[in-house]
Structure 1
Amino acid sequence: MPLSHFDADAVEREYPGHVEEIVRELVGSNAEVVMFDWRLRTSDRNHSAFRLGKEYDPNNRGLYINPVRTVHIDQSADGAVKRVRHHLAERADQLLQGRLRVLNLWRPLRYPVQDYPLAVCDATTISSELLVKAAYIREDYHGESLYPLQSDQYKWYYLSNQRSDEVLIFKSYDSSASAKARYCPHASFENPFAQADAPCRESIEARVLVFTPE
C-alpha cells in the first residue's frame, strides 16, 4: 500500500488487509491476524501532537507523536493476554488455547530514515530477570509493558536508511516457550551519522495479534 500521500481514512480502510497479508506470508496462511492498533510518529517536534500546552487525544491515530527513545517491550505476557481479552473478548478463551504472537510492523512513510531510526535488540542476549513489568494505563485500557534493565550483554541492530517499501517486523510477545525469540526490546535513537540536513523521520507502525495452532 503506497503511503507517500498519507490519508488516515485510507489507512483505516485499507492498511489492515495489507498488514494481514504480509503477516500471513511470514507465519502461514492458516494464521488468524488482527491489527488492533496503528500509530504515526515524527521526529519533527513542530509537527508532533506532543507539544507543551496542546491537548492530545491518544485515541486519535491520525496525529503524529514523538519517537520513543526509552528501550521497551510493548507487551508483557499478561499484557498480551489482556490485549486479546480487550479486543476479542467473546472469543478470547478459544483463541488463547493456541499460540499467540504480538507483532509490530514498522516502516517509514516517506524518505529513507537517517535520523531517529528504530533499533532492535537481539532477544537471545536478554535474560528474563533483567525485564521489569510496568503498568500501561489509559482512561479506557489498562495493560502491561516490559522495560529492560541496563546491561552490557545486549546486542543491538538497526536498518540503515530504511525505505518506505521496507517493513521491519519484530515480536512484542510469543506464547511459545520453545521460540528462539519471545520478545524484542526496541527504541528510537539519535543517529550521530545522520546528515545535518536529513529530513525528519515520518513513520507508521502497526500492531497485530497473531493466532495459530500450537
Structure 2
Amino acid sequence: MPEAPRSVRATLNYTVDNGIPPDYWFYEPDASVKKNPPGTDVREVAIHDGWPQVAQFSLDREGFELHDFEGRFDQFDDDDSIARQFYPQVIAHVKAHTGAKRVVVFDHTIRKRLPADLSQQTTVQRPAVLLVHSDYTERSGPQRVRDVLPDEADTLLQRRVAFYNVWKPLYQRVEELPLAMCDATTQQDGDLLRMNLNYPDRTGEIYVLRHSPQHRWIYFPQMQAHQALLLKTYDSETDGRARFMGHSAFEDPTTPPGAPKRESIEVRTMAFF
C-alpha cells in the first residue's frame, strides 16, 4: 500500500464568530472603543505534508500551487533592486502559471520573526502572520484595483481579475514558521468573516476564518529558496472556482532547536485576463 502522507498537529489562530466584525487597529484608538480582536479561537489541527501531491494542486481548485521559481535574485535588503529586478521575475512567473494577459505588482513584504510591537516594524518588514486569513474580500479586491490603477479600473473590472501572492524563502530553506494553506474546496462562504483594518486615515478589510472541522490544511516543509508558492487571495469569477484561500504561518512542532529563523518575501500581484 502507498505510504500515507505525513502530517503534523499544530495550533492555528481562528476567529470567533460572535456576530460582530472583528477588527485590528494600526494605532491606539480612543479608550471608549471596544475592540473585537481576531485570532482568539485557538485550535489544534492536522496540517498535511503537500509534497507527495504537489503536482496535483490547482489555483482554481484548492487555491494554491507550488513551482520552481525560474528567476534568480539575492538583493532582498534593497527595496529599489527588488522593484527593478525582482518584480519583473515575479510578473513572468505569475503569467506563466496562470495564463494572465497582464500582471501588476502592487507591493511586497519581507516576513521575519519580529516583535509584535508595531513600533519595531516597518512598512516592508513585518512578522509572520499567525492568523488564519485571506488578504482581500468581495469589496476590497475591486477597491484595490481602483486604488492602484484608478484611470483604468472601470474598464479592467469588466473582465476577470485575480490576485496572487508569490511567497518564497529569501536565501535558504524554511525550517521554522512555515506557511499553511486551507484547501479552498473545504471552506464554505460562511467560514469567511470580514475583518476591519483600522488605519489613522482609512479603513480596509480582509477575511479571517471561523473554525470548521471540514478544513483541510496543507504545507510544504523544508521549502527551498528556488521554490515559490502561488496563493490566490481574490478572484472576481463566481463560477465555482476558488476565490479566497485561507492561510497562516504556524509554529511547526517538528522544527529542531536552533533552526535558522524564517526569512521570506511575499509579493502581491493583480492579474488581468
Structure 1 and Structure 2 fold alike (TM over 0.5): yes
Q: Tell me which amino acid in the other structure corresponds to 1:67.
A: A
Q: Which runs of 5+ in 1 are unaligned?
A: none
Q: Tell me which amino acid in the other structure corresponds to 1:134.
A: M
Q: Aligned equivalents of 2:211 and 2:111: distance in 1? A: 25
Q: Percent identity?
A: 34
Shift in alpha-carbon separation, 1:82–1:71, aligned structure 2, 3 A: same
Scaled by the length of structure 2, the TM-score of the pair is 0.70
Shift in alpha-carbon separation, 1:207–1:150, aligned structure 2, 3 A: same
The residue that corresponds to 2:8 in the other structure is none
Q: Aligned equivalents of 2:253 and 2:187: distance in 1? A: 25
2:243 paired residue among 173, 182, 201: 182
2:107 paired residue among 23, 28, 37: 37
The residue that corresponds to 1:194 in the other structure is 255
The number of aligned residues is 202
Question: Are the counterparts in 2 of residues 83 and 143 from structure 1 also a CA contact under 8 Å?
Answer: no
Q: Aligned equivalents of 1:31 and 1:140: distance in 2? A: 34
The residue that corresponds to 2:227 in the other structure is 166
The residue that corresponds to 1:11 in the other structure is 82
Q: Tell me which amino acid in the other structure corresponds to 2:94.
A: V
Q: Aligned equivalents of 1:128 and 1:71: distance in 2? A: 15
The residue that corresponds to 1:126 in the other structure is 187
> Which of 1 and 2 has greater Rg?
2
| Residue 177 of structure 1, CA deviation | 1.1
Per-residue CA deviations over 1:17-70 (Å, capped at 9, x if unaligned) read: 111100110122x51111101000112x3xx6x547x45443xx2xx3210001
Question: Are the counterparts in 1 of residues 75 and 81 from structure 2 also a CA contact under 8 Å?
Answer: no
Scaled by the length of structure 1, the TM-score of the pair is 0.88
Shift in alpha-carbon separation, 1:90–1:5, aligned structure 2, 3 A: closer
The residue that corresponds to 1:106 in the other structure is 167
Q: Which runs of 5+ in 2 are unaligned?
A: 1-70
The residue that corresponds to 1:21 in the other structure is 92
Q: Tell me which amino acid in the other structure corresponds to 1:17.
A: P
Query: Is residue 91 from structure 1 mapped to residue 146 from structure 2 by the alignment?
Result: no
Q: Tell me which amino acid in the other structure corresponds to 1:86.
A: D
Per-residue CA deviations over 1:150-179 (Å, capped at 9, x if unaligned) read: 111100000110011100001001111124
Question: Are the counterparts in 2 of residues 123 and 181 from structure 1 also a CA contact under 8 Å?
Answer: yes
Question: Are the counterparts in 1 of residues 73 and 86 from structure 2 also a CA contact under 8 Å?
Answer: no
Q: Aligned equivalents of 1:161 and 1:83: distance in 2? A: 33
Q: Aligned equivalents of 1:200 and 1:56: distance in 2? A: 17
Question: Are the counterparts in 2 of residues 32 and 210 from structure 1 also a CA contact under 8 Å?
Answer: yes
Question: Are the counterparts in 2 of residues 3 and 110 from structure 1 also a CA contact under 8 Å?
Answer: no
Shift in alpha-carbon separation, 1:141–1:168, aligned structure 2, 3 A: farther
Question: Are the counterparts in 2 of residues 120 and 184 from structure 1 also a CA contact under 8 Å?
Answer: yes
Q: Aligned equivalents of 1:198 and 1:141: distance in 2? A: 39
Question: Are the counterparts in 2 of residues 112 and 163 from structure 1 also a CA contact under 8 Å?
Answer: yes
